[in-house]
């Protein structure tokens, strides 16, 4: 009995060492290979399922947890020099716009040069604009803390301290 086995296909008793059933042709060896292949596939299938569930779970955590936000690029922090530059540009543009608004013919404004002191509290502008007779007048104006000072003496006294590097940038913003 111990050196015999039963064929699972035809139920006949055959020799235990037989690889192929002599009655129906059932191949024990081939069946063994298929079984182990099936077993292996099953194992990988469960591993992939597990990983897949992990990904889905992470996705759900991201969707439902408001504390976890997708990383956004941080807004670049400006250096102290850049902040000061922005302050100077801002007050220069404000002063140039005030000059423009006060003109008889605002579109005729040509800012020849404009600059500020380090703090941006002094703005000096040399500009040309059409006068009431159709000609172009050259004018100098200094703004101190936002207020225009039309006197040439004030411009001559204060504006040598100004740095005239903003002309192009201000003209683009008028
Ligand atoms: Zn058989």
pLDDT digits (tens, 9 = 90+) for 61-102: 666 665 666 676 677 788 888 999 999 999 999 999 999 999
Q: What is the mean pLDDT of residues 125-147?
A: 92
Ligand 1 center to 146 CA (angstroms): 106
Predicted pLDDT of residue 109: 94
Predicted pLDDT of residue 22: 93
Ligand 1 center to 19 CA (angstroms): 11
Q: Which residue has the tokens 């035809």?
A: 10
The answer to whether 162 and 116 are in contact (CB under 8 A) is: yes
Q: Which residues contact 162 (CB under 8 A, 6 or more apart)?
A: 115, 116, 117, 122, 123, 124
pLDDT digits (tens, 9 = 90+) for 101-131: 999 999 999 999 999 999 999 999 999 999 8
58 pLDDT above the threshold of 80: no
1 pLDDT above the threshold of 60: no
147 pLDDT above the threshold of 80: yes
Please report, for the chain, the start and end positions of each structural domain, with discontinuous segments joined by +. 4-62, 80-172
Ligand 1 center to 38 CA (angstroms): 22
Ligand 1 center to 35 CA (angstroms): 18
């Amino acid at each position: 009995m111990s050196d015999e086995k039963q064929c699972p296909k035809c139920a006949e008793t055959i020799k235990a060492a037989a690889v192929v059933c002599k009655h129906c042709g059932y191949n024990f060896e081939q069946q063994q290979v298929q079984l182990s292949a099936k077993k292996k596939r099953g194992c990988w299938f469960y591993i992939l399922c597990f990983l897949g569930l992990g990904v889905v779970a992470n996705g759900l955590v991201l969707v439902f947890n408001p504390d976890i936000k997708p990383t956004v690029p941080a807004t670049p922090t400006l250096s102290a020099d850049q902040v000061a530059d922005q302050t100077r540009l801002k007050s220069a543009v404000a002063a140039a716009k005030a000059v423009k608004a006060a003109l008889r013919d605002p579109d005729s404004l040509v800012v020849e040069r404009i600059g500020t002191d380090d703090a941006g509290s002094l703005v000096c502008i040399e500009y040309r604009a059409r006068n009431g007779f159709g000609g172009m007048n050259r004018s100098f104006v200094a703004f101190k803390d936002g207020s225009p000072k039309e006197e040439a003496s004030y411009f001559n006294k204060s504006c040598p301290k100004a740095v005239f590097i903003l002309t192009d940038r201000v003209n683009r913003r008028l």
